[in-house]
Structure 1
């Protein structure tokens, strides 16, 4: 009859080794990113739209940009924005946490010479701001505008729901609290988006886009289960007293 004896300490050694290799558990990816900027413009203007303007293309890039990839905050003062827009101050910030992000952008004391001909006066807005946040897989966003005078372009309701539009057909479209859901689940919120619609209509200004106070927040994601470690990290269990150890404690009886 063959009897196998196992030292008491061997079982503990096996148990620890197995637990050490059990890493295939799904974990939450706490990398959630956000970005924000105060203003941007890419437009082609017709001659005479701005005072003493011969027309042409204006491209500013994103002013006062911040993001999870840095910088965490940015600001610009007394912004002429190539004559299209003026602003006393533009700022943005992004705050990252464990599995969360919050982004904000604001523009203060704004005038819109770009829309003067369409509005019958130079439109003005005391404060424009947008914010978004992402945590626990949920993304939210909102915008605020205060002290708004857009002339004959129209009047904003006191409570502005997402994607409110006003303007002059064929000339310009103004979207307030624009909220766009991206294919990856991220939310882009732009407090004020001015879109010039082309150059063939009477009173046309040109074509292109001006965005004021824009933020983007991405959703949190989950990683796929991880495989056990391989190569140098692989654990091989040899019970104490096995022939490989040579101590003879696993004996025949």
Structure 2
């Protein structure tokens, strides 16, 4: 079973409802699926512990072991994540989830007052020019002026977003001096809306039984190629105080299932995003007592058979 849906920019979450774990069989009995089903979902997003995009936005579960598929084009409106096409599938012992054209942080500052973002953009333009390796040595004196200026603007962003669904108060606590010059330039591009915090062409999680793999193509952070080994389970890259990315996150669950999350992104300690999640389980279809038949019971018929001699 496969569906393809297009989600308009203002649409809400769409849920795929799968079949029940029991189905009727001839003779009035039932067959039930014992064990744990395989499942997959495309993306989940929470901000400050509040769900913004639920796992069920595009999710499948194979309750009887048969192949179930779903596909979604676009994501619901949110201030953090964007995606092209999400596909998910699951069957007995196997699951897969994929997200294309992933973007994280596209609309991070879109709701802020324009005068504040304009000041930040001007300061960042000057900063990027000072950090540009093509212009020669970095002017430490200039940076000594720009970094406090940008830090002050980040404090204003923190105040402006206090109490809002996307509280950026931790931006005010970000120690800009801990970032490399290239990371500083990339952060400015993100804050001006010219780049994404994290981007990738394709993100895929697959599991088979109790093993899993992750495939990520052209992944970047702050506009820079992200050096992360997706072949290594639970590989992690961190930009202090700003961003943590875990790739090929693998979890052996208490119920015996096995989960692979292709990417797990945490932003500023409060934005939590899982991209492409596959969980493998196994079900066994057991046929119960067939129960009483619907056919009528035979009725004895008396008859006399002549005897010849």
TM-score by length of 1: 0.57
Cα deviations by residue, 1:80-99 (Å, 9 ceiling, x for unpaired):
55131111101100123xxx
The aligned counterpart of 1:151 is: 222
Root-mean-square deviation (CA, aligned residues, Å) is 3.3
Matched, 1:172 2:266: no
Deviations 1:108-157 (A, max 9, x none): 011112697885231320000001112xxxx1111100111223776224
Aligned to 2:104: 112
Q: Structure 1 residues 140, 208: closer, same or farther in 2, change over 3 A? A: same
SS of structure 2 residue aligned to 1:180: strand
Unmatched tracts of structure 1, length 5 or more: 1-28, 46-56, 199-206, 222-253
- Per-residue CA deviation, residues 203-231 of structure 1 (Å, 9 max, x unaligned), is xxxx141110001113679xxxxxxxxxx
1:78 matched to 2:78: no
Q: Check if 1:102 corresponds to 2:106.
A: no
- In the TM superposition, what is the alpha-carbon distance from 1:197 to its structure 2 partner? 4.8
Aligned to 2:253: 182
1:91 equivalent among 87, 90, 94: 87
1:168 CA drift (Å): 2.0
Q: Which has the larger radius of gyration?
A: 1
- The count of corresponding residues between Structure 1 and Structure 2 is 168
Aligned-residue offset at 1:161: 0.6
Secondary structure of 1:162's match? coil
Whole-angstrom CA distance in 2 between matches of 1:81 and 1:161: 33
Aligned residue in 1 for 2:46 = 42
Instruction: Tell me the residue number matched to 1:238.
Output: none
Contact 2:214 2:230 in 1 (8 A): no
CA distance in structure 1 between the partners assigned to 2:107 and 2:252 by the alignment: 28
Among 41, 50, 60, the residue aligned to 1:66: 60
2:211 to 130, 134, 140: 140
C-alpha distance in 2, partners of 1:154/1:92? Answer: 27
Assess, with a 3 A threshold, how the Cα gap between structure 1 residues 172 and 32 changes in structure 2: closer, same or farther.
same
Distance 1:197 1:158 in 2: 23
Q: Which has the higher strand share?
A: 1
Aligned to 2:306: none
8 Å CA contact 2:41–2:278 kept in 1: the answer is yes
Call closer, same or farther: CA 1:157–1:192 in 2, change over 3 Å: closer
Report the CA distance shift for 1:158/1:172 in structure 2 as closer, same or farther (over 3 A): closer
TM-score when normalising by structure 2: 0.47
Q: What residue in structure 1 maps to residue 199 of structure 2?
A: 124
- Preserved contact between residue 38 and residue 90 of structure 2 (Cα < 8 Å): yes
Unpaired runs of 5+ residues, structure 2, are 1-32, 109-170, 172-182, 188-194, 285-309
1:1-16 maps to which residues of 2 (within 5 A)? none
